[in-house]
């Protein structure tokens, strides 16, 4: 099951804990049992993602069969805990394959999801095409009702709901054969009574109903409605998937003991499968979030507090800037649609190992965003017919004949050479000069790197951060071959490639706590030199009671529950907020924190201006058992011997460079580039100008020998 090391320890080592991350090409597994941590990959099954998971779990149990007696009764076996990062919601939204959904809103506001905001993604583009709404006009229904906001977030009913109109609405929805319903009424965040009445009246239809006062009880009608619409659009599909996965677990693993299935959510914490089925909008960035959680933890142990994460998989690359820790945002957009629940601030670009290379109509070489995925996969996997980034790396000799997955997966070099020859012929015709196979492959790598570099620049340079002050944490199956080149382009002085990089997100979901986010809009002004109103404390107290109740319901003792308060704040008259931590018992300093945060973000602050508290927010954390990573007690620096050498194209030349097996490298190992380091699940290229060392946590640390100004 990949490599086994006794460097990770669960606090309850009798538990069998499995992290699963479903990717576009592979489904990754981390298995922790009796002080051992193991990793392996299974080809993904996009048509039925649960099949790859069940296959991988069967493999895990097979390899632990000497220690697990599946013939015994349940009580004789350890409890099983599975934490899963899923792409089901993401893919359904990207591919527009969600449910036939209806929107119920206040009469006259049926078109808010189509009107949206006036913000233009491309300021000077006169031909911008807005994404089509998820719900067509004929499935949007308005109710004659009205709730009006009052001072200090109070609200009153000025036009009541009529039961006769609700009954007529139910008949219309039944005739329309809708599969899911989103309800978003005006000012329901202040008074949810009407939304609850609508949900109760429509419950006999027997379809999932999402109401905005539960999903996102905050102001901003467009973002709130968009979020609840996405939730309703995804709910039937995600619910069906999780039911199938749960049923499969029950059938195949019934004798393995009590199993607890948790799902990673976009905010960096996990939730129960039941909650994920009700609120799938919280799982849109489920897989990438696991990688960021693991990267921040590993970087903290290695002494790097400010990092940029670089997760290059088979289909896409995800990057995130973490200055002192991971950052969440309530202003994310997925395929142009706002998602206002908390998500980690991750930027995704369509560049991965499976990204397809082609010559466009203008004769330029392009790479991605279309991917070969798991089926048919890159040409070198044996079935694909178009060149990909993986094929280019193979042609350039960068897999050094090792194949993938520790030799379990052989690569078809002849097939990769054939598709790169065809690409070279296209490039020759477009450029009127002869392009060789290797030149075509180098071109593919350069274009893919340019796409990923742009993503890294977006989260760093374009947001005012100097990448030279950060460490790049690279993971994902394809990341190690590109990380040093990208770091060099951005003058990032150090790259960390953690253990198990190919299954790193699966480790991250096991490192994540159970997290529940709560919020309530309050719209309260604070005049200069005045204190936070007492009413804010009451709002926090109500949210905390709910959080404690929910987390106790998931089995957490009071000592395992942490509550993190924050306030969404802005100057009165502004349109957008900053989120400021507001620790219990220390509210007096919150206003000063806001002024400082505003100065850091925008370059100025006005301490004589009234501040508006828009929303109170609470993060309830159930502290879960985590793998305990062990550091080597002592180690000495040494120069390891290469396993062999290989011919590899670096730049325009082919060179004979040393090849090392990562499993044989101990803490203290020091290597001078150029070199290639192979392992199960990933390959690392250290170019000339970089030194590699293995630290006490068994990370590969690449340091640039160039002085960074």
Region 296-303: mean pLDDT is 93
Name the phi and psi angles at 573, rounded to 5.
105, -15
Could you tell me the pLDDT band of residue 254, with boundaries at 50, 70 and 90? low
The rounded mean pLDDT for the chain is 89
pLDDT digits 0-9 by tens, 71-90? 454 444 557 889 999 988 88
Q: Could you tell me which residue, 304 or 708, shows the higher pLDDT?
A: 304
Please state whether beta strands 670-672 and 628-629 pair in parallel, antiparallel, or not at all (unpaired).
Answer: unpaired
Could you tell me the pLDDT band of residue 258, with boundaries at 50, 70 and 90? low
Is residue 142 within 8 A of residue 107, CB to CB? The reply is yes
Best CA proximity match to 605, nearest among 581, 582, 574, 583: 574
Could you tell me the pLDDT band of residue 69, with boundaries at 50, 70 and 90? low
pLDDT of residue 194: 95
pLDDT of residue 368: 86
pLDDT digits 0-9 by tens, 578-610? 999 998 877 778 999 999 999 988 889 999 999
Structure tokens given for 524: 């309260």
* pLDDT at 48 exceeding the cut of 60: yes
In the chain, which segments carry CATH 3.40.50? 95-237
pLDDT of residue 72: 52
The residues facing 8 across adjacent strands are 629
Other beta carbons within 10 Å of 554: 17
Could you tell me the pLDDT band of residue 668, with boundaries at 50, 70 and 90? very high
Secondary structure (3-state) at 154:
coil
Distance of CA 197 to CAs 163, 231, 449, 561, Å? 9, 19, 53, 33
CATH 3.40.50 correct for 95-237: yes
Of 208-217, 234-243, 367-376, 612-621, the range with the lowest mean pLDDT is: 367-376
Structure tokens given for 686: 């250290």
Could you tell me the pLDDT band of residue 255, with boundaries at 50, 70 and 90? low
Secondary element (H or E) of residue 371 = strand 365-371
Q: Could you tell me which residue, 167 or 1, shows the higher pLDDT?
A: 167
* pLDDT at 6 exceeding the cut of 60: no
pLDDT of residue 151: 61
Using the structure block, give the residue that is written with the tokens 């009541």.
160
**CA–CA separation, 248 and 660 (whole Å):** 40
Structure tokens given for 294: 């693991």
User: DSSP string of 422-484?
Assistant: HHHHHHHHHHTS---HHHHHHHHHHHHHHHHHHHHHHHTGGGT--GGGSEEEEESTTGGGTHH
In the chain, which segments carry CATH 3.30.420.40? 302-352+453-510
Q: Could you tell me which residue, 403 or 286, shows the higher pLDDT?
A: 286
**CA–CA separation, 9 and 182 (whole Å):** 44
Is residue 563 within 8 A of residue 621, CB to CB? The reply is yes
Could you tell me the pLDDT band of residue 282, with boundaries at 50, 70 and 90? very high
Structure tokens given for 184: 């978003």
Peptide bond into 670 cis (omega under 30): no
Distance from first CA to last CA of the chain, Å, rounded? 44
Q: Which residues contact 345 (CB under 8 A, 6 or more apart)?
A: 320, 321, 326, 327, 328, 329, 332, 459
User: DSSP string of 189-255?
Assistant: TT--HHHHHHHHHHGGG-S-EEEHHHH--SS-HHHHHHHHHHHHHHHHHHHHHHHHHHHHHHHHSGG
* pLDDT at 378 exceeding the cut of 90: yes
Secondary structure (3-state) at 152:
helix
pLDDT digits 0-9 by tens, 308-355? 999 998 888 999 999 988 888 888 888 888 999 999 999 988 888 999
Region 282-305: mean pLDDT is 92
**CA–CA separation, 53 and 65 (whole Å):** 18
Q: Give the DSSP letter of residue 586.
A: -
Could you tell me the pLDDT band of residue 497, with boundaries at 50, 70 and 90? very high
pLDDT of residue 256: 53
Q: Could you tell me which residue, 636 or 4, shows the higher pLDDT?
A: 636
Q: Could you tell me which residue, 505 or 401, shows the higher pLDDT?
A: 505
* pLDDT at 35 exceeding the cut of 80: no
* Class of 302-352+453-510 in CATH: alpha beta
Other beta carbons within 10 Å of 619: 22
Please state whether beta strands 337-339 and 16-22 pair in parallel, antiparallel, or not at all (unpaired).
Answer: unpaired
Fold of the domain spanning 8-92+239-283: Nucleotidyltransferase; domain 5 (3.30.420)
Could you tell me the pLDDT band of residue 626, with boundaries at 50, 70 and 90? confident
Could you tell me the pLDDT band of residue 126, with boundaries at 50, 70 and 90? confident
pLDDT of residue 154: 60
């Amino acid at each position: 099951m990949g490599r086994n090391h006794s460097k990770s320890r669960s606090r309850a080592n009798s538990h069998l804990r499995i992290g699963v991350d479903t990717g576009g090409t592979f489904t990754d597994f981390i298995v922790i049992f009796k002080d051992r941590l193991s990793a392996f990959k299974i080809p993904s099954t996009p048509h039925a993602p649960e099949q790859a998971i069940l296959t991988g779990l069967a493999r895990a149990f097979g390899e632990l069969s000497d220690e697990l007696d599946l013939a015994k009764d349940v009580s004789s076996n350890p409890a099983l805990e599975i934490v899963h990062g899923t792409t089901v919601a993401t893919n359904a939204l990207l591919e527009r394959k969600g449910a036939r959904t209806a929107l119920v809103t206040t009469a006259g506001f049926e078109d808010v999801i189509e009107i949206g905001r006036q913000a233009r993604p491309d300021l000077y583009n006169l031909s911008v095409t807005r994404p089509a709404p998820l719900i067509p006009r004929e499935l949007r229904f308005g109710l004659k009702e009205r709730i009006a906001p009052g001072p200090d977030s109070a609200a009153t009913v000025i036009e009541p709901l009529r039961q006769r109109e609700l009954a007529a609405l139910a008949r219309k929805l039944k005739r329309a054969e809708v599969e899911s319903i989103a309800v978003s009424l005006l000012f329901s965040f202040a008074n949810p009574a009407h939304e609850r009445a609508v949900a109760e009246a429509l419950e006999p239809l027997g379809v999932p109903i999402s109401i905005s006062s539960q999903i996102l009880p905050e102001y901003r009608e467009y973002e709130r409605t968009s979020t609840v619409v996405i939730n309703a659009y995804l709910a039937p599909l995600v619910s069906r998937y999780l039911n199938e996965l749960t049923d499969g677990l029950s059938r195949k693993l019934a004798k393995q003991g009590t199993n607890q299935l948790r799902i990673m959510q976009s905010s960096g914490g996990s939730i129960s499968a039941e909650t994920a089925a009700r609120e799938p909008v919280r799982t849109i960035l489920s897989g990438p979030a696991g990688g960021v959680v693991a990267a921040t933890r590993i970087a903290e142990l290695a002494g790097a507090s400010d990092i940029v994460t670089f997760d290059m998989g088979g289909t896409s690359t995800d990057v995130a800037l973490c200055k002192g820790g991971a950052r969440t945002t309530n202003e994310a957009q997925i395929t142009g649609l706002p998602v206002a629940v908390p998500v980690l601030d991750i930027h995704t670009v369509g560049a991965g190992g499976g990204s397809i290379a082609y010559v466009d109509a203008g004769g330029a070489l392009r790479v991605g965003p279309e991917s070969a995925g798991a089926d048919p996969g890159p040409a070198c996997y044996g079935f694909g017919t178009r060149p990909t980034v993986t094929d280019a790396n193979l042609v350039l000799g960068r897999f050094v004949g090792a194949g993938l997955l520790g030799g379990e997966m052989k690569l078809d070099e002849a097939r990769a050479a054939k598709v790169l020859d065809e690409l070279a012929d296209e490039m020759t015709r477009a450029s009127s000069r002869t392009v060789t196979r290797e030149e075509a492959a180098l071109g593919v790598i350069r274009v893919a790197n340019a796409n990923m570099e742009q993503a890294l620049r977006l989260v760093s340079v374009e947001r005012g951060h100097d990448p030279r002050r950060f460490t790049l944490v690279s993971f994902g199956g394809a990341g190690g071959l590109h990380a040093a080149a990208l770091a060099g382009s951005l003058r990032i002085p150090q790259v960390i490639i953690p253990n198990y990089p190919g299954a790193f997100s699966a480790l991250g979901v096991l490192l994540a706590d159970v997290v529940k986010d709560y919020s309530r809009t309050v719209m309260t002004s604070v005049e200069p030199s005045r204190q936070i109103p007492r009413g804010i404390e009451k709002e926090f107290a109500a949210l905390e009671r709910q959080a404690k109740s929910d987390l106790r319901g998931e089995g957490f003792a009071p000592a395992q529950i942490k509550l993190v308060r924050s306030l969404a704040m802005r100057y009165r008259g502004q349109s957008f907020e900053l989120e400021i931590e507001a620790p219990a018992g220390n509210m007096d300093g919150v206003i000063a924190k806001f002024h400082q945060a505003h100065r850091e973000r925008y370059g100025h602050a006005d301490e004589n201006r009234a501040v508006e508290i828009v929303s109170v927010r609470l993060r309830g954390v159930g502290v879960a058992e985590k793998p305990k990573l062990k550091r080597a007690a002592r180690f000495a620096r040494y120069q390891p011997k290469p396993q062999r050498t290989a011919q590899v194209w670096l730049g325009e030349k082919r060179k004979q460079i040393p090849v090392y097996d990562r499993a044989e490298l101990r803490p203290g190992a020091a290597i001078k580039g150029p070199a290639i380091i192979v392992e199960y699940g990933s390959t690392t290229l250290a170019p000339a100008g970089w030194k590699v060392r293995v630290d006490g946590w068994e990370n590969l640390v690449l340091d640039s020998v160039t002085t960074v100004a």
